[in-house]
Amino acid sequence: MAYFTCFTGILIRELLRFWQQRSRLISALVRPLLWLVVFAAGFRAALGVAIIPPYETYITYEVYIVPGLAGVIMLFNGMQSSLSMVYDREMGSMKVLLTSPMPRSFLLVSKLLAGAFISTLQVYAFFAIAWLLDVQAEPIGYLVVLPALVLTALMLGALGLLLSSFIKQLENFAGVMNFVVFPMFFLSSALYPLWKMQESSEWLYQLCLFNPFTHAVELIRFAMYSQFNAQALAVTLGCTLAFIGLAIWGYDPKRGMVRRKVGG
């Protein structure tokens, strides 16, 4: 019961924070909607009205980028979570959280799960708006894609948590955003298929394959069409476990970055 009460408290805290920051939801939806409505016209002209993804289905470009834009929402939300961790550290509330009787690893994983829950809610809100704009996938796909969304949200949240163990001040967050988020976004299959990238540049194509966000997007894209991508699942799951382990190490006062900062 103690663990359940602790997890519930962290979840409610994150939900209340999200509810009080409604501009966070608006900004999370406006950004991908701009790509969907405004920029899709230009990309469609370049790539054609319909493309053939790896699962051999003819779809419009708008439908193709919906999974990628869902990943973008979770990517920015993961970075937003890292910003909140840095803010909590400066305000002292994170110290109160991490000095509770619960294991530190449990507290960090609970925060990850709470962030993943909020990210998933934002993605389904985006799916609903895209549906109203007549950008629709198969109805069953919105249910099948749920595990892929949760796993992707955990991976990106864990990456944000790991980065927050390195960021000392809020002022450094903008640089991290430019250095991490945008390369991960543009060097992925979120906006254009990998085969198109390979036709343009082989080394850019290899960078896209090295990018874990690419595999997360492909996992979501395949799941939305009730398809299974074993490679995307393996890479996403492996990166999730690695990021979580490194984040827990980073917040360990005996071995991680927290000790180094105090010592410095």
For residue range 71-109, list pLDDT tens digits in order: 988 998 888 777 777 666 666 566 666 666 777 788 888
Mean of pLDDT values over 14-38 = 74
Residue 50: DSSP 8-state? E
142 pLDDT tier (thresholds 50, 70, 90): very high
Q: Which helix (H) or strand (E) element contains residue 187?
A: none
Mean of pLDDT values over 140-167 = 89
User: What pLDDT, on a 0 to 100 scale, did the predictor assign at position 210?
Assistant: 92
The residue that leads in pLDDT, 220 or 44, is 220
* Angstrom distance (rounded) from CA 97 to CA 21: 21
Could you give the percent of the chain with pLDDT greater than 90? 19
User: What pLDDT, on a 0 to 100 scale, did the predictor assign at position 147?
Assistant: 95
Q: Report the DSSP beta bridge partners of residue 51.
A: 59
This prediction's pTM:
0.83
Could you give the percent of the chain with pLDDT greater than 70? 75
CB 68 within 8 A of CB 147: no
* Angstrom distance (rounded) from CA 125 to CA 129: 6
Crossing angle of the two packed helices 230-250 and 104-132, in degrees rounded to 10: 140
Phi, psi angle pair for 236, to nearest 5°: -65, -45
Mean of pLDDT values over 193-202 = 80
CB 61 within 8 A of CB 218: no
Name every residue whose Cβ is closer than 8 Å to that of residue 205 and which is 6 or more positions away in sequence.
Answer: 194, 197, 198
User: What pLDDT, on a 0 to 100 scale, did the predictor assign at position 263?
Assistant: 45
For residue range 216-255, list pLDDT tens digits in order: 999 998 998 888 899 999 999 999 999 999 988 887 766 5
Is residue 47 scored above 60 in pLDDT? no
How far is the CA of 239 from the CAs of 74, 122, 152, 244, in angstroms?
Answer: 15, 22, 10, 8
Name every residue whose Cβ is closer than 8 Å to that of residue 44 and which is 6 or more positions away in sequence.
Answer: 60, 61, 62
Mean of pLDDT values over 194-204 = 81
59 pLDDT tier (thresholds 50, 70, 90): low
Mean of pLDDT values over 58-74 = 82
The half-sphere exposure of 210 on its side-chain side, counting CA atoms within 13 A, is 7
The rounded mean pLDDT for the chain is: 79
The dihedral built from the CA positions of residue 253, 6, 22 and 28, taken in this order, carries a sign that is: positive
* Angstrom distance (rounded) from CA 180 to CA 113: 22
3-state secondary structure 60-95: EHHHHHHHHHHHHHHHHHHHHHHHHHHHHHHHCHHH
All structural domains of the chain with their residue ranges: 2-263
End-to-end CA distance of the chain: 39
Choose the weakest-confidence range: 41-45, 85-89, 134-138: 41-45
Is residue 134 scored above 50 in pLDDT? yes
